[in-house]
Structure 1
Amino acid sequence: MKNNQLLDTPEKIRSFQIEFIEWYEKEKRNLPWRINLDPYRIWISEIMLQQTRVDTVIDYYYRFMEWFPTIKALAEASDERLLKAWEGLGYYSRARNLKAAAQQIISDFEGEMPKSIEEIRELKGIGPYTAGAIGSIAFGLPEPAIDGNVMRVVSRLFEIEADIAKASSRKLFDEAMRLIIDEQRPGDFNQAMMDLGSAICTPTSPKCEACPIQSYCAGYANGTMTSYPVKSKKMKPKDVYYIGTIIENKKQEYLVEQRSDKGLLANMWLFPIKEVTKKEFEAMQRDWAEVNQQLALDIDQESLVAEESSSQLLNSYDQVVWQKRSLGEVTHIFSHLKWHILVFYGRGTENHPLEPQQEWLSAERFSEYVFPKPQQKMVELLKKEFSSKK
């Protein structure tokens, strides 16, 4: 870390803190979890905000607090109700960790959020950033809350050349934050850093002319602000390929199945999907695209027909008549995987025998089940298909 001569004395640092907090008091975002200093509200909001945009979180936050207004309510929540509250936010382990931590608080801390950083860190799913946010905002502890926004601001402020993608770099940013954090108002200071990084000190084209700490920034003084932060390229998510089947019976119910209680999307419900190789996936795309072209002049091209197909999955449903074309492709990116789902619609000539983890479900009851994003996207394809026929 280079020596920033603009912040090299206690007097300069104090001036910096005063000006920064004054800016925050005037410009801070009006967010529902900032209404008071309730550590429970702060904790829930900070977990929701991980990997998720603020404007997306707000509605989820209101619903979550309505359903689980206290730590006790969260600790006693059913998994189904909890995941339904989280449906669409992704990274569902966050929700499961919240419940586990709430149960820890009930059993180990008499139902009250612990007030020391060390004890907060003991809670399931809480790392250094979340502990720093809860400790500083709720309890006034002079602890930095270092996320991507904060690292970007600090890297420009001090011209830090350490790669922010590496865990080993966090120590440098922690040292820099402890040098400048306002120990009298650490919560406001941390939130000011978050707001600055979100609205002004953005990843590209930072709005330096509007920055309240411009005169203390080494990156701005030296014209190097766009060279920071230093970040190695993220690994590209691995492509995984599936065939998705939307099967409707004579009662206008759809076949859904629950995933196992371990791994990605644990315990959640989807239309049946089967993983295939990229070669098999592309063959299905090609074969059914050719069928579409052949049907271009066919008046009855929307009808259903049992076709010879290159998919063993479709052929395995001997009581299902498949539409002569696919509904389309759904893609969804997880942190390390990119799912490609080629979706087909079929109708059961008889009730297809159910596996233990499967159910028939009417569209009116979809809202009762926890559907992850890939499932929601398949449902949207189905709705689009039906609306196009009206």
Structure 2
Amino acid sequence: MKKLVQFTLFLALVAFAPSCTAALPETERSTPAASSPADDKLQDPVALGGWGPERPTFRQDSPADYITLNSLTKSSWGDERNFLQVKNKDSPNSEYTDDLEVAVGKTYTAILMYRNAASSRIATPAENTAMRVMAPGSIKGAGEINGFLQASNSNPLEVWDSVVIRLTDPASEVALRYVPGSAVIHSRGRVNGLPLPDELYTTGTPIGCDQLDGRLFGGEETCTGYVTFDFILDQPNFTVTTLGKSPQNHELTPSISARVGDTLEMRGEYKNTGTTLQNDVVMDLNLPAGMEMVSNNMKIANSATDGTYKSVSEQTANTLLPGILNIGSYKPGGSCYIKFSVTIHDVPGYDFATSGQVYRYPEIYVHTNNGSKVSFLRVKVLGPLQ
């Protein structure tokens, strides 16, 4: 028997948007920069799953003599206390279960069964019968979805059941999103095939036999049915890479050597590696004293430029020193590249001729609605005569 637990967070809505992608715009050999994952701490394990409350149960051939919801243990459904289950929609042969391993980017279907377990001799229907769903906006490692069925004159007034969804990586954190328009009621009554509103995921929505009026009679097969809806797991993420080359380095790399007076070729790259749309992505370039951007030299490549580099106006390029450049919105898989040149000047106070000065610059910051990241080019600057 499942353990009884409580559940408090709402299932969020997901919006789908057009893609904004671009492949590497031209043949540019490069050595990728190394990256390391965040050091997340695991949450303490908690008890998940369950149904409730405890209540008397009945058989289909011996129903209740009062109004009660989902209380048959030997029906065509089986034990109706276990009325919520999920499956992988992307796998046609998958089966419904109440404990499922899930993955980012996959779509899943939930099913919620409903019945007034009262005998047909009870003329009064369950009144104001409604169903609602609650789920966390995000889960880390594991989480649960709860379904509730209630009526104003049933005993008990409300019953609930939950399913557990687990990530392969217990340290991973993802967002759980409802797929808009996917909630549908299924029955042998006239409500069969009707869509249900988004109130299913907040205050609840009425169900019924011949119409969605909240009236559910006992002993009527046309009044027994189920609701299905889809949800997806999202994980926002992105990468930022800064590469460069000098007259002494013929490949784009994250670490180069140069001399005072050299002009460096730079490339900054943003990629949406997650599963959510990122709007109004901003690139911010930070140069140290002694490095100056070559005027009117910046170019940008993304889907808006058909994947080819196009010049950024001198005015826009100059706002990067200091300032920001809004590069647009990007669907999962989308990317953007910027190219520009900087010239190294002598800097008072540094003795380049002795051992060289290592700059942790230029820095490229990327700001998104899911956070910010920075990438830098390590430049060892030598004196002009070395």
- Please indicate the TM-score interval, normalised by the length of the shorter structure: under 0.3
User: Highest Rg: 1 or 2?
Assistant: 2
TM-score by length of 1: 0.22
Q: Relative contact order (C-alpha < 8 Å, sep 6+): which is higher?
A: 2
Larger helix percent: 1
Larger strand percent: 2
